[in-house]
Amino acid sequence: MAITIKKIAEIAGVSAGTVDRALNNRGRVKPEVAERIRTLAQELNYQPNSVAKSLSIKNKGLKIAVILHIVRNSFFDEVIQGIKKAAKEISDTGIQVVIKTCKDFDADYQLKLIEEALSEDVKAMAIVPINSPLIKNKINELTENGFPVVLLTAILEDTNYLAYVGCDYRRAGKILAGLINLITRGKANLGVLSPTFQMCGHLYRVNSMCDYFSTHCPGIQVSSITEVPNDEIGTYMEVKKMMEEHSDIDTILYGSVAVKAGFRAIRECLGEKPVRIVALDLSDDIKEALLTDNIIATLIQNPKDQGYRAIRILFEFLTSNKKPKNPLCYINTEIIVKECINEAEM
């Protein structure tokens, strides 16, 4: 027998109207009561009438906001492609997806964007959270008030949320360590070029990799760990500084989106001296570097899938009150070598 709102109300000891408001995130319901009702509905496998729900949504004109942490880079260009794909799929229901870009790693500005989205009456958010107490506190406040938040690509400790969609950074660090160990046969002086540690996951990945080296690969020495900015000039300067200060480096983990600038700095410092490079992600510049043997391999995080899944999770929550079985929705990481690249697509 199908479970109805009336039946849920009887079991929960509340009115049918309260159940309806809790399941559809409208009207005032105490957060603890709303959570109890949603949990009960999930346990009873309640399935709303999809046709009626769709018509209801059309009349409401719901909005999902995506709050980014930077203006743009090649990785997040792909994340946005995934977001737009999902937005197109759900557009027939009347749900709109709006994307707000942030001044690079500016927590105050990101908080302003969150408040701006709330003033526009959005009903859910996907946020690429900057590691700041301002952002942590706001996300916790939203979640405690029953507002659905998905953390997109970047995880924050001590934060409550509906789901995290992104890389398992600690596992990625171990994969990178194993890959570098194989490539170097366990002997290397490694220079690490990482995206900013203002995004916690980047730090988790590097720490996990270094822990693996210290335990399993004593012949691999980490000569330098350098954070690189989100632009060509800044990347060039930081890479050149690292290479000049650590002339023993013979292997590099390259994590910057500014590939050409960083590679120019490496070559200016090393000349014809060989260097083994492992990269992150798969921009067009990384593909070219793989095909020309400037990079041995790259670890990719499927950014389009990350953007797509974040929107689908929020859509399913808004329309069916469906939560992910596991709030940690890890995206598959893959190792890519040049043989994986279809040159015809370049």
Mean pLDDT lowest among 13-22, 159-168, 197-206: 13-22
26: confidence class by pLDDT, cuts 50, 70, 90: low
Cα-Cα end-to-end distance for the chain: 55
Same domain flag for 34 and 58: no
In a domain? residue 346: no
Share of the chain above pLDDT 70, in %: 94
Under 8 Å between Cβ of 346 and 288: yes
Say which CATH number the domain at 9 has: 1.10.260.40
* Mean pLDDT on 100-110: 93
188: left (phi over 0), alpha (psi -120 to 50) or beta: beta
Cβ contacts of 280-286, under 8 Å, gap ≥ 24: 280/253, 280/254, 280/255, 281/74, 281/75, 281/257, 282/336, 283/74, 283/75, 283/257, 283/259, 284/74, 284/346, 285/74, 285/259, 285/260, 286/259
Q: What is the reported pLDDT for 24? A: 76
Q: What is the reported pLDDT for 230? A: 83
Distances (CA, A) of 288 to 100, 178, 195: 31, 24, 21
Same domain flag for 74 and 118: yes
Same domain flag for 188 and 103: no
In a domain? residue 345: no
Query: How many separate domains does the chain show?
Result: 3
SS3 163: strand
Same domain flag for 141 and 79: yes
Q: What is the reported pLDDT for 38? A: 85
User: If you compute the radius of gyration of the chain from its CA atoms, what whole number of angstroms results?
Assistant: 23
Residue 94 confidence (pLDDT) above 90: no
In a domain? residue 8: yes
Same domain flag for 183 and 109: no
In a domain? residue 120: yes
Maximum pairwise Cα distance, the chain: 77
18: confidence class by pLDDT, cuts 50, 70, 90: confident
Q: What is the reported pLDDT for 51? A: 45
pLDDT tens-digit profile of 188-201?
999 999 999 989 99
Same domain flag for 138 and 225: no
Same domain flag for 25 and 80: no
Q: What is the reported pLDDT for 99? A: 97
Same domain flag for 217 and 291: yes
pTM of the model: 0.80
In a domain? residue 342: no
Share of the chain above pLDDT 90, in %: 71
Q: Counting Cβ atoms within 10 Å, is residue 346 exposed (0-12), middle (13-18) or buried (19+)? A: exposed
In a domain? residue 341: no
Say which CATH number the domain at 181 has: 3.40.50.2300
In a domain? residue 18: yes
Same domain flag for 308 and 190: no
Question: In whole angstroms, what is the distance from residue 139 CA to residue 203 CA?
Answer: 21
* Mean pLDDT on 49-54: 52
Same domain flag for 229 and 180: yes
* Mean pLDDT on 63-72: 93
Residue 155 confidence (pLDDT) above 90: yes
Across the chain, mean pLDDT equals 91
pLDDT tens-digit profile of 330-344?
999 999 999 998 764
Q: What is the reported pLDDT for 59? A: 43
If you ran DSSP here, which 8-state letter would residue 344 be given?
A: G
Q: Counting Cβ atoms within 10 Å, is residue 198 exposed (0-12), middle (13-18) or buried (19+)? A: middle
pLDDT tens-digit profile of 246-283?
999 999 999 988 899 999 999 999 988 999 999 999 99
Same domain flag for 204 and 290: yes
User: 41: domain range?
Assistant: 1-47
Distances (CA, A) of 70 to 23, 91, 138, 198, 343: 33, 26, 18, 12, 31
* Mean pLDDT on 83-102: 93
Residue 50 confidence (pLDDT) above 70: no
Centre a 10 Å sphere on the Cβ of residue 255 and count the other Cβ atoms it contains.
23
Same domain flag for 294 and 309: no
Q: Which two tokens stand for residue 39?
A: 């949990």
C-alpha 79: how far from chain center: 8
In a domain? residue 64: yes
Residue 55 confidence (pLDDT) above 60: no
If you ran DSSP here, which 8-state letter would residue 324 be given?
A: P
